[in-house]
Amino acid sequence: MTPNLRQVYAFAREYHQKKETQKDIQYGTAGFRSHADNLDYVMYRMGLLATLRSRAKGGQVIGVMITASHNPEQDNGVKLIDPMGEMLEQRWEKLATALVNVSDADLEAQVAKISDDEGIDNNDHAKVYVGMDTRYHSPQLAKAVLNGVAALKGNVRDFGIVTTPMLHYFVTCSNTNMAYGLPTEEGYMTKLIKAFKNIRGSTFEKGNYTNKLYYDGANGVGSLKMLGFIKKFDGFLDVKVFNSNGKINFNCGADFVKTNQRAPEGLPEVEPNARCVSVDGDADRVVYYFTDEAGVFHLLDGDRIATLIAGYLKDLVEKCGVKINMGLVQTAYANGASTDHIVNQLNVPVACVPTGVKHLHHKALDYDIGVYFEANGHGTIIYSTEAKRKITAASKDESLTQEQRDAASLLLETIDLTNETVGDAISDLLLVETVLHSKGWNLQDWLGTYADLPNVLMKIMVEDRNVITTTDAERVCVTPQGLQDAINEIVTRYNKGRSFVRPSGTEDVVRVYAEADTKENTLQLALEVANVVYDMAGGIGERLKMAAI
Ligand code: G16
């Protein structure tokens, strides 16, 4: 054992103790999430793990992001970012869970075990990037991460308040020797804005597209960073930011808008059909919406963004004549109408994977151009090295027509506008704005591309959400026994009915999704399924009634 391992226990005992009564927790959909008061020891240990991970990866930079993203203000969380900006490898998620759940007394031995098992020499160089969202407890938790890195004598760069996707981007930039860009806020903004302006050219408005956008910052880091972007837009985009300094995600933000299917609080008086957008607490998701002249609210969620972007990219690929394949990845939450549109109208293959960016990102790597979006607005596009090579070659190929070369150049700018490392609300927003501008569309035009099936998303509280286990990309419930049969029976009674249930990996709830032919039927279907979950999976509190939803 190398001498510096002794520090591991000393720091834990002195500053970052774990209570004996602390229940075990799991590295979930997006890392550890819990009430902020329970997280100090978790943060310290994730500082340790990130340092070990960096050593296991030959000294490459590993990111640690402190955020609970869409969760309420009292929660916080942490997730690790792997060298190419991906989510932590799943095998290491297990190591993370094990490291967090040992007692302080066993911590040093657990670190030694990981080091031995993974062939890590703790004298080797390690580098960790740390970022945090705007929650008031984040700075204190960041200190715990820094202490974890220090205990193992790693190097650290603390970026302070950044969006989650910015930290993913910084990690990737560093580990690619700046080939992906500069790992600074300025480098990130400049890359996106340059591509955005290059594509847009000198026309700010076109057809039904106007450049005014109302932006809900969810009272989080997304509003701060958008205010920085606005200074550099030079009128290309006229963004009105709201929800910039209240309680994070409280009755606002992308999760609120998607789940409740209504506009956030704080939205100023806007003209009918005004283009509005909400991001979440750490700005890694985005949804669009508007309210029409009749006062009807319309949501354009992650499924819509996927179809809009996939259609645009497909056109460009066809125009430049490059032979590359394209695929789209969704989860079970994707509206059935969107899947139908993608397969039958856009002729793009669709894959379905379990919830969690890590699953979508991984699957998207199967394609030259992999578009992935969760219905909640989380997603991006990734391009294979081969695709980039072919598109670059086409942009310079004199044997092609000018139109083909221009399409290839436009595709290259679109790639630059994309944060390929992870879903990024601001980059996605700029992509959507680019496509709408190029088509001269307003939100009604976009909405008109297909009709969503009415859908409902509900949360049910149960004793222990882990009694629910699923298979087939979460579309089938394995336990409790008999629950899936009960859901199947209910669904057969609804025209175009579909429903599934799964335990959340970020909140202590079970999620219920339903869709059917009408809004009333969808609500009724969701209610029936929710109550069957309540009865068979140990529901707590009152059973749901129609009036309550
Ligand atoms: C995280 C994940 C997303 C996932 C969401 C909800 O988002 O990154 O992939 O869709 O949690 O997950 P669950 O239904 O398991 O709670 P965020 O924006 O909170 O980081």
Q: What is the CATH number of the domain that holds 503?
A: 3.30.310.50
Same domain, 20 and 149: yes
Residue 436 maps to a domain: no
Same domain, 156 and 64: yes
Q: 351: which 2 tokens?
A: 């894959």
Residue 397 maps to a domain: yes
Same domain, 397 and 476: no
In the residue annotation, 278 being an active-site residue is answered as no
How many angstroms does the Cα of residue 374 sit away from the middle of ligand 1? Answer: 9
How many angstroms does the Cα of residue 151 sit away from the middle of ligand 1? Answer: 31
Domain containing residue 111:
5-161
Same domain, 319 and 413: yes
Averaged over successive runs of 10 residues, the pLDDT of the chain (549 residues) comes to 72 92 92 96 98 98 97 97 95 97 96 97 96 98 97 97 98 94 96 96 91 97 97 93 97 97 96 98 98 97 98 96 96 96 96 95 97 98 97 96 97 97 97 97 98 94 94 96 97 96 92 96 96 94 70
Give CA–CA dist 549/540, Å, rounded: 17
Residue 242 maps to a domain: no
Domain count of the fold of the chain: 3
Is the beta carbon of 190 within 6 A of some atom in ligand 1? no
pLDDT tens per residue across span 95-111: 999 999 999 999 999 99
Q: Which of 109, 130, 161 is the last residue of a domain?
A: 161
Tell me, what's the pLDDT at 546?
66
Output the furthest CA–CA distance in the chain (Å, rounded).
71
Tell me, what's the pLDDT at 2?
52
Contact present, 214 and 242 (Cβ < 8 Å): yes
Is the beta carbon of 30 within 6 A of some atom in ligand 1? yes
Residue 539 maps to a domain: yes
How many angstroms does the Cα of residue 471 sit away from the middle of ligand 1? Answer: 18
Same domain, 347 and 475: no
Same domain, 397 and 486: no
Tell me, what's the pLDDT at 543?
82
Tell me, what's the pLDDT at 79?
97
Same domain, 407 and 467: no
Residue 176 maps to a domain: no
Handedness of CA 423, 101, 103, 110 (dihedral sign): negative
Q: Residue 513: what residue type?
A: Y
The angle at the Cα of 445, spanning 439 to 449, to the nearest 5 degrees, equals 100
Residue 114 maps to a domain: yes
Residue 317 maps to a domain: yes
Same domain, 414 and 469: no
Same domain, 400 and 470: no
Contact present, 103 and 130 (Cβ < 8 Å): no
What does each C-alpha distance from 393 to 9, 283, 313 come to in angstroms? 55, 34, 17
What does each C-alpha distance from 184 to 63, 161, 167, 181 come to in angstroms? 14, 12, 9, 9
Q: Which of 144, 161, 178 is the last residue of a domain?
A: 161
Catalytic one among 69, 223, 278, 499?
69
Q: Which of 161, 179, 194 is the last residue of a domain?
A: 161
Q: What is the CATH number of the domain that holds 60?
A: 3.40.120.10
Is the beta carbon of 528 within 6 A of some atom in ligand 1? no
Neighbouring C-beta atoms of residue 391, cutoff 10 Å: 25
Same domain, 411 and 322: yes
Could you tell which of 88, 303, 376 is best to mutate to test the pocket of ligand 1, judged by most ligand atoms within 8 Å of the CB?
376
Tell me, what's the pLDDT at 507?
86
Cβ neighbours for 367, distance < 8 A, ≥ 6 positions apart: 325, 326, 327, 384
Is the beta carbon of 505 within 6 A of some atom in ligand 1? yes
Same domain, 131 and 59: yes
Is the beta carbon of 53 within 6 A of some atom in ligand 1? no
Q: Would the pTM count as exceeding 0.85? A: yes
Same domain, 486 and 355: no
Give CA–CA dist 224/241, Å, rounded: 9
What dihedral do alpha carbons 379, 385, 389, 395 form, nearest 10°? 10
Tell me, what's the pLDDT at 3?
43
pLDDT tens per residue across span 128-148: 999 999 999 999 999 999 999
Residue 365 maps to a domain: yes
